[in-house]
A = this chain, B = another copy of it.
């Protein structure tokens, strides 16, 4: 693939400093770029690769010090976003899957839209509905009454349990489980657990993306709900009756306990844990490994376990780093006090 730099500059609204007639071979990371490639510089820790990169062109911020004369610079406010736009525009192809494989099982009562692709050994159970242009890869299993919208993409070895609803433009990565039973029991008088039937479902709205090896539990009653535009990373646990708002991003290995509600436009780092029955408002950002035991209503950045407001958490962190110093100061005070006492007693 050969792309004109002018076309890239137009797409990204960036300004060319250097060879305007350049053609690019492919996009690449700064440290891996080969002759003719396009790259970008965004985080300062990658600046060290500028001297040696073989890239022909590079996105940089306006006013960047252009020390190398053999590279063409593209100045733009957000070099990383501009680079992403190039990827989105020129490389937005997905894994190949064409037609409905004859080894797939599709129940006679299922409704399959136009231009749907279904891979080998896929199971589409009774009363399922699959929308137009949706692709379902090999060995994925949908139990009865599952609905998948249009233009969605389900990779391999996914398990979707009965009655779950998946919207349009949804991507689910391999080996994820949608609609496994919630972890709900009552203890009898002998302290043995009795299973509470989990008769709800999971609803995934449009344009949601779910990573690989994710577990989204079905609701005990009603629906576990992932609202539109939200992105969930790998190995995340979403318990029964959780609601996650719109355009929220949940990083890998995070766990959200039962019946908690997460707002819109939240961002959670990796390995975050939320207790059950909490309400997390819109615009809450939780740093990685945060543990949240109480509801958070105010937008802002929180971290720690238990999670605190960023200002408070940083202050506590600072004090912890200084503990040694505080202890020394207590010792010094004790020494001085006994010296003073001695003086006074004389």
A residues at B contact (CB < 8 Å): 27-29, 32, 43, 45, 80-81, 84-85, 87-88, 91-93, 95-96, 103, 105, 119-121, 123, 125-126, 137-139, 141, 143-144, 155-159, 161-162, 171, 173-177, 180-181, 183-186, 191-197, 199, 207, 209, 211-215, 217, 220-222, 229, 231, 233-235, 237, 239, 241, 247, 249, 251-253, 255, 257, 265, 270-271, 273, 275, 277, 288-289, 291, 293, 305-306, 315-317, 319-324, 326-327, 329-330, 333-334, 336-337, 340-341, 343-344
Contacts and interface: CB of A to CB of B under 8 A. Distances in A.
B289 A291 contact: yes
A280 to B, nearest CB: 14
Nearest to A254: B253
Interface of A is mostly: loop
Contacts of A27: 221
Contact of A141 (B137, B171, B214, B306): B137
Given A215-B213, A289-B273, A305-B289, A319 B330 contact: no
B195 A88 contact: yes
A68 B183 CA distance: 33
Which of A125, A174, A289, A316 has the most C-beta atoms of chain B within 10 angstroms of its own C-beta?
A174
18 contacts: A121-B121, A121-B123, A137-B141, A141-B157, A155-B159, A159-B212, A180-B212, A181-B211, A183-B249, A193-B247, A212-B217, A213-B213, A213-B215, A235-B237, A257-B270, A270-B273, A319-B323, A319-B324
Nearest to A198: B87
B277 A45 contact: yes
Nearest to A195: B209
A289 B304 CA distance: 11
A138 B137 CA distance: 15
A161 B191 CA distance: 32
Contacts of A159: 155-157, 174-175, 212
A215 B252 contact: yes
Nearest to A237: B252
